[in-house]
A and B are shown apart, each in its own frame.
Chain A
Amino acid sequence: MRISCPYCGERSLDEYLYIGDATVTRPDPAGANAQADFYKYAYERTNPAGAHKELWYHSAGCHAWLVVERDTRTHEISSVETAKDVALKRNVAKGGA
C-alpha cells in the first residue's frame, strides 16, 4: 500500500504508522457525561467494510498526522488530508478557538 503524504508525496506503507478511526474526536472533558463519552471515544469502534477515514502518521517522513480515506476491502485511497487541517476545520465548525 502506498499513501500520498500531502507534504512528502507518495510513500510506501512502511513509512507510516496506523492508529485508526479518524471519525471520532476527543469529547469535552467537562461535559456532563464525560466518562461515558470518553469510554465510547477510547473503546467503541465501527469496523466498516468499505470507505473509512483513518488516522495515519508519517513516522519515517515529515511527522504529519494524516486523515486517510481508504477502502478497507481494496486499500484504495480516495483522499488524504492533514489531520491538522481537519482539526482546524472541526474547531471552526464547533465555533471553538
Chain B
Amino acid sequence: MSASQTNRITGKGLIDRRKPLRFTFDGKSYDGFQGDTLASALLANGVVLTGRSFKYHRARGILSAGSEEPNAIVELRAGARREPNTRATMIELFPGLEAHSQNRWPSLKYDVLSINSLLSPVFVAGFYYKTFMWPSAMWEKLYEPMIRRAAGLGRASDEADPDTYDKSNAFCDVLVVGGGAAGLMAALTAGRAGARVIVCDEHFDLGGRLLSETQLVDGKPAHDWVRAAVAELRAMPEVQILTRTSVFGAYDTGTFAAVERVADHLPKPGVHQPRQRLWRIIAKQCVLAAGATERPIVFGNNDLPGVMLASAVRTYINRFGVMPGKTAVIFANNDEAATTARDLATVGVRVAAIVDSRPQPSAAVRDAAKTTGARLVSGVVADAKGRIAVKGARIVPAAGEAFDVSCDLIAVSGGYNPNVQLTTHQNGRPQWNETLAAFLPGSSPKGMTVVGSAKGTFSLPDCLAEGAQAGAAAATAAGFSAHVPQVPKAEAESYGVVPMWRVKEAKHKAFVDFQNDVAASDIDLAEREGYRSVEHVKRYTTLGMATDQGKTANVNGLAILAALTGKSIPETGITSARPPYSPVSIGALAGHHRGKEFKATRLPPSYYWAKEQGAVMVEAGLWMRPQYFPRAGETDWLETVTREVKTTRSAAGICDVSTLGKIEIQGADAGTFLDRVYINMFSTLGVGKARYGMMLREDGIVLDDGTTARFAQDRFFMTTTTVNAVKVMQHLEFCHQWHWPELDVQMASATDQWAQYSVAGPRSRELLAKLVDAPFDISNEGFPYMAVAEITVCNGIRARIYRLSFSGELAYEIGVPARYGDSLIRALMAAGQEFGALCYGTEALGVMRIEKGHVGGPEINGTTTAADLGLGKMASTKKDFIGRVLAGREGLKDPSRPALVGFRPVDRSARLRSGSHLLPKDAGNFASNDQGYLTSVAYSPMNGHWVGLGLLSNAASRMGEIVRAYDPVRNGDTLVEVVSPVFFDPEGERLRV
C-alpha cells in the first residue's frame, strides 16, 4: 500500500492492490488502485475538499458514491480531451489521470471569489431576474461574462475533440436497467428461459449495492454471489451485458436510449475504439431495477466537505477500502444509521454519536449504538461546524440543551428516493407513499415492470424475489416459457423511515440543491414572493436544474415547499423528469455524423472530373454540384460565369443535370395518371416526344415543374427539379395509392440510374453528332425541338437523347447509364474541343434561365400559382387535375396578386439584389407600400447589365413603369423598369434551328 494513501483500510474492498495507479489532482500527484473511482482515490489520500460551489464558491467535497453526485464536479483530462463538469464519483481511475477542481481562483483553498458567499444576499432566488433586468444591452457586455467568471461552469476545451463516437441499434426481449440484486435476478431468470436479454448498469461492475454492503447471500459475501451470477450471464449467448452504460431515456413502444462510456475509463481510447457509444435499444419488455438514491437532510452547513451520504460512507469502506473519516457523527431518520455505525466501527472509525431524528430511535439503532459505543441522541444535527471541512457537529437533542461534538465526518441518511425517473419519461406520474415517505412508480410505460428499491422494496430478500418474478414474467410476455427460480437466501433488514426534511434549528445556510447552490432560505423567499407551484419555484430558484437533474434535491425541495404552504407533498406536486436521466455528450449524440460526414452527400457523375478541373462546388440539397469552373487569371466568380454564359451562347456549353429527379412511369393508365397530376395534357403526347409540365398541390399552389417524355404508349419518363425529387415521388405515390388505386400505374425512381448532361449552344448539334451512333439522324428535321429517342452513343452504349432547352439555345440532354457518366463528360469535352466548348456550373445555368425568364426555385416557392408565374394558360380545361378546383378560387385569380415580370435597372450600371422589395416609384419605404419583391437576379452577359425576375402586384398592366427596388438589409435603393421576363431571344428563334 502506498504510504500516501493514509485512509486506505488494510485488507478491505474490491480494488486490485496489485495494480497501483498514479494520478494528479490540481497538479499534485497521488496514488490509487485499479478499481478506484477518482472520488475513492482522493478520499484514500485524505483529500476531502474537491471543488467550489457554483454561485457562492463554498467549499465542497464528496457527497455520494454514484451518478447523483452534485458536489465533486471536476475538470477531467487536459488539452483537446479536457472535459468540464464530470463527477468524481463516476470517473474510474486510470494511469496518469489528470483532474482539476472547478470554480476556484486562484486556488482551491484560497478562493478569492468566495467573497460571493459574503454577498450571498445578492445571489438569492431569482437573482438572474432581479439583478440583471436592465438595461438589456448590458447582458452581453457585462452581466453574462461576469456571472460566468464568478460562477464558473468549468472550461470546455477549445480544441476539436480528437475521439470518435459511435451509435448502435440493439433489440432484445428483455431490457434490464440496473444490475443490482433485483436486476441480476431478473436477467438470470429471463436469460435462463432463452430470452434475448440486455443488462445495462451505469457503473463499471454489476452488483449495485451488493458490492457496497456486508450482507450475506446464500451464506457467502454478496459480491461472491454477484461474481457467480455475472459469470452465468456471460455464458449465455443471448445475454448482452453493457456496463458503464446509462439508460437515459424511455420512449414509447419499448424504445430506450442509453450511452455507453466505452473508453472513458482509459487514458485515451484504444486504436479504432470509440470513446462513447449511443445505443438505441428496442425492447419487448423492460425490467426497471434502477435502485434508489439516498436523500441528504437539509441542515446548517450541510454542504461542508465531510458531510456524506450514509450509503456512500459504506461504499467507500466496503467496496473501496477507504476510511472516509476518523471520527463520525451519524445523522439519520431511519435504520441505515445502524448499518452505517457498524461498518464504521468495524474498520476502526470512532462513532462519536448517532443522532436519530425519529420520535423513538428503533431497536436496531439502539443496538448498534450499544455495540459501537456511540452516544445515541434522539434529536437532530442542526449545523455542521468548520470552514473548509467538517470539524464538528452542533447537535440539538429532542430534550435538553444543544451541544457540540467534534468529528470529521457526518454520515447522513434522510431515507431513499426510488429512481423512478424512467417511469415518468412518458408522462407517468409517481405516487406518494406515506409509509416510505417517497414517490413510488405510478403507472409505468407499457411493457415496463419496476422492481427492487426502484419500486420502494428496500429489503434484500424481497428485491431478489421481485427480480426473479419480473424476469420470468417479462420472458413469458416475450414468448418464452419461464419459471420463477428458487431465490438465494438473504437476511431481511429494517428501514423504518420517519420524514425529516429540514432542521429548523439550523443557524447556517442549509442547502437543498448543492450543484446549483439553492438553499432552504431561497425556497422560503420564493414562497414569500408568492410562488406556490413547484414548477415555478423550480424555475425561480433553479432548484433541480443543474446537470445532476436534482437527484438529491428535488424531493427535499418539494417537501420544504409543502411545509411552507401547509399542503401535503402530493398536493404540492411532483417535478417530472425528462430525458436525459444523466448528462450525455453532444459527441455521443452526433456519432459518425460530424465534420464532412455531418450529413450524407450525393455526388453527381461528373463530380470527380469537375474536381480535377478545379471547379468550385456548391451544396444543392444533399448534392455537391459544380458552381463554376474558374480559369487561371480570372479575378472573380462573375468573370468566370460571364465567360461560361457567353461561350455557351456562342459555341457550346455542357452541364451535369443528373441531379434532376427522374421517375419511370409505366402502365396502361400512365397517361391518364399524368393528366391528373399535371395541369396540362400528357395522354395526348406522342411517343418520341417530350412536354414541359407543371403540377400543383391540392390548394392550387405550384408544387413542381419539369419535362416528361414518352418512350412508349405505356412508358413515360418524368423529370422533376433537383430539390423536389423526393417530394414529387411521395406525391405521386399518394395520388396513386390513396386517390386512384384503380389505375394501372407503376413507378420507379431512376434519378441515380442516368448520368445526364445538357449540351447547349449553336455548336451543340455538331458536337453531339460526333458521339451518336448511326443510323440516328440528329438533324433539325430528323430530331426536332422536343423530340426524344432511345439511341446508342460511342459505339453501342445505350443512351437517351432529348431535345430540350433550359438555356434558350439549341440544346440537348444526353443520358447514359450512370457508370458511363464520368467517361461521357470526358468524351463530350474531347468532342467539343474543336468548337471551343466548355463545362458550366449552376451559376451560369441560373444566369441563362433568368435571361430566358424561366421560373426556378425562387419563383416556385410555395406561394405562387401557375397564373402568378404567367403559365395559367397551360392549364387544361378539358380535365380535372390536382389543384384545379382550388386554383380557381377568387383570391387566387385576383389581378393584384403579385405575378412574374422582368426588371432592369434604369441606371444600367446598377446592381440588382434578390429579395429587394418593390415599391411604387415615389412611395415611402413602408410595409404598406410593399408590392412584391425581386425573386432572382443576375448579371446578364448578353444584355451587359443586371436583370431580374420578380413578383409584382397588378403586373400585367404595369409594363414600362418605373418602381423602386428597395433593399434595406444591404442599403440598396434602385429604380427599376418593369419589363417582359424574357431578356434574351424573346421569339425563341435560337431553340429551333
Contacts and interface: CB of A to CB of B under 8 A. Distances in A.
A53 to B, nearest CB: 12
A67 B884 CA distance: 26
B734 A64 contact: no
A35 B738 contact: no
B239 to A, nearest CB: 23
Interface stretch (B402-410, B866-874, B885-893): B885-893
Interface residues of B, number: 26
Interface in B703-762: 726, 729-730, 733-734, 737-739, 741-742
Contacts of B698: 26, 38, 41-42
A82 B741 CA distance: 11
Contacts of B742: 88, 91, 96-97
A97 B889 CA distance: 29
A19 B255 contact: no
Contacts of B282: 2, 12
B737 A83 contact: yes
A96 to B, nearest CB: 8
Given A38-B885, A59-B726, 5 more contacts: A39-B889, A64-B737, A75-B252, A82-B737, A83-B738
Contacts of A29: 880, 884-885
A20 B726 CA distance: 18
Nearest to B697: A42
Interface of A: 1-2, 10, 12, 17, 19, 26, 29-30, 34-35, 38-39, 41-43, 55, 57, 59, 63-65, 74-76, 82-84, 87-88, 91, 96-97
B733 A63 contact: yes
Contact of B730 (A38, A59, A74, A97): A59
Nearest to B747: A63
B888 A35 contact: yes
A35 B282 CA distance: 47
A74 B739 CA distance: 29
Contacts of A41: 698
Nearest to A64: B737
B699 interface: yes
Contacts of A1: 251-253
A85 to B, nearest CB: 8
8 interchain residue pairs of minimum CB distance = A2-B253, A29-B880, A97-B742, A38-B885, A84-B737, A65-B737, A84-B741, A87-B741
A57 B734 CA distance: 8
Interface in B883-936: 884-886, 888-889
B699 A87 contact: no
A65 B886 contact: no
A51 B886 CA distance: 30
A96 B743 CA distance: 12
Contacts of A2: 252-255, 282
A44 B282 CA distance: 37
B885 A75 contact: no
Contact of A65 (B252, B254, B733, B880): B733
Q: Is the interface of A mostly helix, strand, loop or mixed?
A: mixed
Contacts of B729: 63
A12 B255 contact: yes
Contacts of B880: 29-30
Interface of B: 251-255, 280, 282, 446, 698-699, 726, 729-730, 733-734, 737-739, 741-742, 880, 884-886, 888-889
A13 to B, nearest CB: 9
B178 to A, nearest CB: 24
B733 A35 contact: no
A30 B251 CA distance: 47
B737 A87 contact: yes
B951 to A, nearest CB: 23
A91 B699 CA distance: 23
A46 to B, nearest CB: 18
A18 to B, nearest CB: 12
A41 B886 CA distance: 10
13 contacts: A1-B252, A29-B884, A35-B889, A38-B885, A38-B886, A39-B886, A55-B734, A57-B730, A57-B733, A65-B733, A75-B252, A83-B738, A88-B741
A35 B730 contact: no
Contacts of B885: 29, 34-35, 38
A62 to B, nearest CB: 10
B886 A75 contact: no
A35 B886 contact: yes
A86 B280 CA distance: 33
A82 B699 CA distance: 25
Nearest to A91: B742
A92 B245 CA distance: 55
A43 B252 CA distance: 30
Contacts of A42: 698-699, 886
A76 B447 CA distance: 13
B730 A17 contact: yes
Contacts of B699: 42-43
Contacts of B730: 17, 57, 59
Nearest to B885: A38
Given A35-B889, A42-B886, A55 B738 contact: yes
Nearest to B446: A76
A97 B734 CA distance: 18
A60 B803 CA distance: 34
Contacts of B888: 35
Contacts of A39: 886, 889
A29 B884 CA distance: 9
B760 to A, nearest CB: 34
Nearest to A55: B738
Nearest to B879: A29
B463 to A, nearest CB: 31
A64 B734 CA distance: 9
A83 to B, nearest CB: 5
B278 to A, nearest CB: 14
A34 to B, nearest CB: 5
Nearest to A74: B252
A43 B737 CA distance: 21
A28 B24 CA distance: 78
Nearest to A58: B733
A88 B739 CA distance: 9
Contact of B739 (A19, A26, A34, A82): A26
